[in-house]
Amino acid sequence: MTKWLHSGRRRDLCALLYEAGELRAQSLKSRLESHYDERIDPGSFYATLTSLVESGFLDRRTEGIADVYALTDAGERALLDHYDWLSAKVGDGDGEGDGDTLGNGISDDDSDDDSDDGAGDDGPDLKD
């Protein structure tokens, strides 16, 4: 993984730019603050943008008095590679088991019904 992906803020900024195409710095900061539901220190925010520009993941151009940012091809590739990795970790492509498992390891298709399966009423029906 490239170093820029070690920061969630960097990934989130790139995701916002991927969605929007390009954004002025202040609009980008406002959207990120809205997502995090907290204020972001301007110095830290602009340092993150500068780092992404210097690493070749963002383009910066000046429009009037505002800086406008957009993903580069390298930034988009890195973001989509991370998306693929994350999707494999949390998506359906994990290759484990036949049914969807719940957080407790119990498959959601193991229904707890009262049908007569010959197990009797001595306790729960424990399946392999």
Q: How many Cα atoms sit within 13 Å of 103 on the Cβ side? A: 0
All residues at 6 or more sequence positions from 33 whose CB lies less than 8 Å from its CB, including other chains:
39, 40
Q: Which two tokens stand for residue 121?
A: 């009423």
Task: Assign 18 a pLDDT band (cuts: 50, 70, 90).
Answer: very high
Measured distance CA(75)–CA(14) in Å, rounded: 7
Q: Which residues of 18-54 are buried (b: 16+ CB within 10 A; e: fewer)?
A: eeeeebebeebbebbeeeeeeeeeeeebeebbeebbe
Q: Which of 6-10, 36-40, 103-107, 119-123 has the lowest mean pLDDT?
A: 103-107
Q: How confident is the model over 98-115, as a mean pLDDT?
A: 41
Q: Give 42-80 pLDDT, tens digit per residue.
A: 999 999 999 999 999 999 999 999 999 999 999 999 999
Mean pLDDT, the chain, rounded, equals 77
pTM for this one? 0.66
